[in-house]
Chains A and B, each alone.
Chain A
Amino acid sequence: MRALWGLVGIIAAVVCSMAIAAGIEGSAKRSGFDFMTPETQALQADDMSNPGMLWVLQGEQLWQQSEGRADVACAGCHGDASQTMRGVATRYPAFDEATGRPIDLAGRINSCRGERQQAEPLTPESDALLALTAYVTHQSRGMPITPAIDARLAPFRDNGRRLFQSRIGQLDLSCASCHDDNWGKRLGGSVMPQAHPTGYPLYRLEWQTVGSLQRRLRNCMIGVRAEPFAFGAPELVDLELHLMERARGLRVETPAVRP
């Protein structure tokens, strides 16, 4: 009998460790939206008061604007974004043939600028790059996140998961320590969400501007007193890849508002 209980214990332990490894499952997945105050939720829900829409508006203008030595606009190749860009953001980061690595949406916009428009790349976190990324992602609002099933992405996604679960910094915390194991509890005054990247680029009230997922990731790394990766670093893209897989099924909210 005791042996039987021992076996049950081992099975339970194995099942639990599997659950932790896979992150948050199915119906327990919740967007950061659900953890906000009703006032902030109202700010996001109404397009006329959501400040992120200012960047979407700018992105719409930039989409039509000819750039670079090729003197061609995004619309010159891609046409009407509401048709051609619908659902694109739900699949990113995607595999980039040229570099043999995953590339996120902002990276794709910049590589398209370089190759097709023959223009200078936009600097990370510049208003123009955030505006274009927000505009393209906005076309997928309401659609479920469905990362591409591509075997070539698997090693990078695994690296992202490893980074998510690795303890870093003077505080010796991993992303998972808060966002997998302790979500819903409070850290200081604010509720810890599950860290699903459903609304990026998003308007953060603390920043008083729109920022990318990479900015948020760097923010958290500085928060645990670790040296953050540089903007565009492969490690950050790997983390993005893991986060999108982790958020599979949740709906795109771009431009979201977060406290």
Chain B
Amino acid sequence: MARALVNVPKAARQGEVVEIRAMIAHPMETGYRVGPNGINIPRDIIRRFACTYNGEEVFSADLFPAVSANPFIAFTLVATTSGTIDFTWTDDAGKTQTASAEITVG
């Protein structure tokens, strides 16, 4: 069950700069912590976040062990055309979680 919250304005004017916010539930386990049995807890972090606007990648970020759990990423886009904004989070195992939102540009 993907647990992600994305915030995209429903409507925007042509050429307007809009703020996009995305947050996902993830432990971001660094791999440096020791569990109760004395063995290191295996690393499990989100490595890459990407955002596509009508299929074209417009923003991406590489994440590292120092990033907190449940990473929150905010950035801006120029609203050009109506369409779908897709978000992809890829973890250490290569598993991806996705979310998407629609934007109407008038």
A interface with B by C-beta (< 8 Å)? 48-49, 51, 53-55, 57-58, 61, 208-209
Contact = CB atoms under 8 A, between A and B. Distances in A.
B31 to A, nearest CB: 15
B19 to A, nearest CB: 10
Interface in B21-76: 21, 23-25, 27-28, 68-70, 72
27 contacts: A48-B5, A48-B7, A48-B21, A48-B23, A49-B21, A49-B23, A49-B72, A51-B23, A51-B25, A51-B72, A53-B5, A54-B3, A54-B5, A54-B23, A54-B24, A54-B25, A54-B70, A55-B25, A57-B3, A57-B5, A58-B3, A58-B25, A61-B1, A208-B68, A209-B27, A209-B69, A209-B70
B1 A58 contact: yes
A209 B28 CA distance: 11
Contacts of B25: 51, 54-55, 58
A57 B25 CA distance: 11
B70 A208 contact: yes
Contacts of B69: 208-209
Contacts of A58: 1, 3, 25
Contacts of A55: 3, 25
B1 A51 contact: no
A51 B21 contact: no
A49 B70 CA distance: 11
Ordered nearest first, which 9 A-B pairs have the shortest CB separation? A208-B69, A48-B7, A54-B25, A51-B70, A54-B3, A58-B3, A48-B21, A208-B68, A57-B3
Contacts of B24: 54
Contacts of A208: 27-28, 68-70
Contacts of B27: 208-209
A54 B97 CA distance: 14
B26 to A, nearest CB: 10
Contacts of B23: 48-49, 51, 54
Given A51-B23, A208-B27, 16 more contacts: A49-B23, A49-B72, A53-B5, A54-B5, A54-B23, A54-B24, A54-B25, A55-B3, A57-B5, A58-B1, A58-B3, A58-B25, A61-B1, A208-B69, A208-B70, A209-B70
A58 B4 CA distance: 9
Contacts of A54: 3-5, 23-25, 70
A61 B5 CA distance: 14
| Of B1, B21, B28, B68, most A-chain CB atoms within 10 Å | B1
Nearest to A58: B3
A220 to B, nearest CB: 21
A184 B61 CA distance: 41
Contacts of A49: 21, 23, 72
Contacts of A61: 1
A57 B5 CA distance: 9
A51 B27 CA distance: 12
